Structure 1
Amino acid sequence: MTLPAPLAEIVDDFGAVGDSDRVTLLLEFSRELPELPEHLHEESMEPVPECQSPVFLSVDAADSDSVRLYLTAPPEAPTTRGFASILHQGLDGASAEEILAVPADFYHALGLDSAVSPLRLRGMAGMLARIKSQVRTQTGNGPGTPARST
C-alpha cells in the first residue's frame, strides 16, 4: 500500500496496539484536530454528507508539492473527528501525487473494522474521496491520472 510517510506511521501506530486500544487511540486523535485558520469558515468549505456528523473540508493544492488540508468536525462526534484528524495529520503537507495514490480503502489498515460501524468507516472514505476530488480539480488531474510535476 502506498501511503505518505506520516499516514503510514499512523497506520503502524494503530497496528501496534490491540483492538480495545485502537478506539482509545482514535479518541486521542479526535482531540488533536487543529482549529480552522481565521480566513476559513464552514460556510465556504465543502460538506461531507457521507459522514453522520457535520464535517466540512477545504483543500489548498496551489502548491502541488505541499497540499494543505483543513477539516472541521464537532467535538461531540469524537469518532468522526478522529478520522478527520488522522487524515489531516497523515496528509497535510503531502504532495498531490502522494494524496492521489492513497488507496480509497486504506482505513481498513487501521484495524477499526470491528470497533467502528461500517457507516462511520464510509464517512472516512467520503472525506478521503472529497480531498482527492479537490486535489484533482485544483491540479488539473482527472480521475485515475497521476499528479503532474511542477
Structure 2
Amino acid sequence: MTTEALPDQVQGLIEDFDAVPEPDKLQLLLEFSRSLPELPARYGEHPEDLEQVVECQSPLFLAVELEEGGGDPGVNIYFSAPPEAPTTRGFASILYEGLDGLPASTVLDIPDDLPERFGLTKLVSPLRMRGMSAMLGRIKRQVRELQAARAAG
C-alpha cells in the first residue's frame, strides 16, 4: 500500500506531521496524547480483557473489537496508557484516530512501516518507535483473531 492508497484519515495524520517543522513534531505528538479517549467502563471493570504491549516503555494496554454485522466489519480500538507517558499516549492516539472505525480489511492492509511515516524517527528513541510498531502489530493480530473466531461461528 503506497502513501496515496492509505485511508484518508491516516493520510491526513501523516500530512499533519509533515506540515510542521521537525522541532514542532514532538509538540504535535503531545497534543495527540491529550486527545486519547478514556477506556469504556466495561474495560475498566475487566482489565484482563486488555492486552499489554510489552514493547512499550510505559504500561500500555489495548483491546480491539469488530462491529456487528457481516461482510467487512468496522474495527474499534481501545487504549489505556498513563497520563505521565505522553509519547506512548500520543502514539496510541495517532493509531486510534487513524484506524478506529475503518473496515477490518483496510486495517489489515495498513503497511507495517506506518510509524516511520510520521517523521518522528529522529526525535524519539528506536525503542519508542518499536513500541508504536508493536501497537500496530497487536491491533492487526487481534483483528485477524476476531475474524477467525467469527468465521468459526
Q: Same fold (TM over 0.5)?
A: yes
> In structure 2, how many angstroms separate the alpha carbons of the residues matched to 1:20 and 1:33?
22
Q: Which residue among 98, 104, 107 is the counterpart of 2:112?
A: 104
* Higher helix proportion (structure 1 or 2): 2
Structure-1 residue corresponding to 2:13: 10
Matched residues in 2 for 1:19 and 1:116: separation? 11
Shift of 1:131: 0.2
| TM-score relative to the length of structure 2 | 0.88
Find the partner of 2:51 among 38, 43, 46.
46
Aligned 1:74-93 pairs, distance under 5 A? 74-93=82-101
Alpha-carbon offset, residue 65 of structure 1: 2.7
Structure 1, unaligned stretches of length 5 or more?
A: 142-147
| Deviations 1:21-68, CA, capped at 9 Å, x for gaps | 110000000000000011113332011001011000000024443111
What SS does structure 2 have at the residue aligned with 1:68? strand
Alignment length (residue pairs): 142
Question: Contact between 1:61 and 1:138, CA under 8 Å: does it hold in 2?
Answer: yes
TM-superposition CA deviations, 1:77-126 (whole Å, max 9, x none): 10000000000011000011110011111111100011000000000000
Q: Give the TM-score of the pair, scaled to structure 1.
A: 0.90
What are the residue-to-residue correspondences of 1:1-150 with 2, within 5 Å?
A: 1=2, 2-41=5-44, 42-63=47-68, 64-140=72-148
Q: For structure 2, which runs of at least 5 residues remain unmatched after alignment?
A: none
Cα distance in 1 for residues equivalent to 2:117 and 2:111: 10
Sequence identity percentage: 51
What RMSD, in angstroms, separates the aligned Cα atoms of the two structures?
1.5
Contact preservation (8 Å) 1:45, 1:57: yes
